[in-house]
């Protein structure tokens, strides 16, 4: 079984989210429910992507109560370490 490449989290930008189906970012705790528009309300997260980004900048997670559950991005998850699209 080959490992599927992960996609970028909408909020923190690290490559932590499975491309298919539901997943939670381990770096900011954003639930990937398919919302990609910054100003659209995400039902799973009870906020917009833009609000999630603000909270991540402030707390290091999309909600203050998740701050203890997240972890720093691994080296291979960082955006600058992704293969450039061809």
Q: Give the containing element (helix H, strand E) for 55.
A: helix 49-59
Interatomic CA distance for residues 62 and 3, integer angstroms: 27
Among 12, 35, 49, 61, binds Zn ion (CB under 5 A): 12
Residue 19 CB, nearest distance to Zn ion (Å)? Answer: 14
Given 3, 20, 23, 25, the residue binding Zn ion (CB under 5 A): 25
Are 6 and 14 a contacting pair, CB within 8 Å? no
Q: Are the CB atoms for 13 and 25 separated by under 8 Å?
A: no
- The stretch near Zn ion (CB under 5 A) out of 3-11, 43-51, 67-75, 77-85 is 3-11
Residues that bind Zn ion (CB under 5 A): 9, 11-12, 25, 27-28, 30
């Amino acid at each position: 079984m080959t490992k599927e490449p992960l996609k970028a989290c909408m909020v923190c930008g690290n490559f932590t989210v499975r491309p298919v189906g539901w997943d939670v970012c381990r770096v900011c705790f954003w639930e990937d429910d398919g919302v990609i528009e910054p100003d659209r309300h995400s039902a799973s997260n009870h906020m917009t992507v833009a609000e999630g980004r603000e909270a991540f900048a402030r707390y290091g997670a999309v909600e203050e109560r998740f701050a203890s559950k997240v972890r720093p991005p691994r080296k291979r998850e960082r955006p600058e370490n992704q293969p450039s699209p061809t």
